[in-house]
Structure 1
Amino acid sequence: MNNTKLIPYLTFEDTREALKYYQDVFGVTDVTRVSPTEKQAEAMSLNEDVNLADLTLKASFKVLGQEINCADSFMGKPVISTLISLMLQVDLHDSDAADNLEALYKRVVESEEVKVIVTYEKKSSGNKYGQIVDKYGITWIFNAIK
């Protein structure tokens, strides 16, 4: 039995701001956030005058039930990369899952806080597919397959 999981882990300059964005735009749930302790800040050689409550050591949220972890970048400003894509894939035969995926796509597009790369619609294969890029440069792929 394989107990391995692959969980996306994103890094932000300001995770508190990113969590608010994902709550507002994506409607994410189960949001958690932990600031570093003084001991952890010292171990990371953070400036003594930094407000630890503003920093995020670790955080997580769920989108359509899928967990994503994140934290502040303590090694300098994170670099935006088009190499990062997150795919949300559902079976078209599961009407609830397909409806939830489509509703999420509509929600994020209607927010006008994302850039649509590929409109979510039925393709010649019979699958539904679309792509957006969020304000952090992360590509989200919406994929409903037969």
Structure 2
Amino acid sequence: MNNINLIPYLTFENTKEALAYYQDVFGITDIQRESPNEKQAEDMSLNADVNLDDLTLQGSFKILGKQVFCADSFLGKPVVSSLISLMIEVDLHDSEASSALQKLYDRVVESEEVKVIVTFEKKSSGNKYGQIVDKYGITWIFNAVK
């Protein structure tokens, strides 16, 4: 069962805008975005005057080499939920991974586009841990474990 992956799939009101935000603030890479074609728009009963290039049928990006999928919510405005968090965990002994996680945390915090919930620092357990919430209400957990 090693061939099973669990991949985050985020839904936004405007994925095109969200991807620009995550690229600027988080430095995401490998961004892909597919707009619906006219037939797909018709099948989804979208208004004929909608600009299809502004819509995202499916998108994806990578953060620290890990893939995240995303799309627009075609069923109305998505509901923000504090029940979902994304954790990025690295081995504290892997200096390259630990450094990449620290740089990502520093980047997002310096942007002032996120709210820091828990400062990313060493805890009594010896692990480093921190949490931020981005402008879309998604909680990102930074975790470097021994």
TM-score scaled by length of structure 2: 0.98
Paired with 1:68 and 1:21, the residues of 2 have a C-alpha distance of 15
Partner secondary structure for residue 17 of structure 1: helix
Residue 39 of structure 2 is matched in structure 1 by 39
- Which 4+ runs in 1 deviate beyond 3 A? none
**1:108: Cα distance to partner?**
0.1
Residue 92 of structure 2 is matched in structure 1 by 92
Residue 139 (structure 2) pairs with residue 139 (structure 1) = yes
RMSD: 0.6
Matches within 5 A, 1:1-146: 1-146=1-146
Partner secondary structure for residue 23 of structure 2: helix
**1:124: Cα distance to partner?**
0.4
| 1:107-142 deviations in Å (ceiling 9; x for gaps) | 000000000000000000000000000000000000
**1:2: Cα distance to partner?**
3.4
Q: Which moved more, 1:121-130 or 1:40-49?
A: 40-49
Partner secondary structure for residue 104 of structure 1: helix
Partner secondary structure for residue 19 of structure 2: helix
Paired with 2:133 and 2:103, the residues of 1 have a C-alpha distance of 17
Consecutive unaligned residues in structure 1, runs of 5 or more? none
| 1:73-127 deviations in Å (ceiling 9; x for gaps) | 0000001110110000000110000000000000000000000000000000000
TM-score scaled by length of structure 1: 0.98
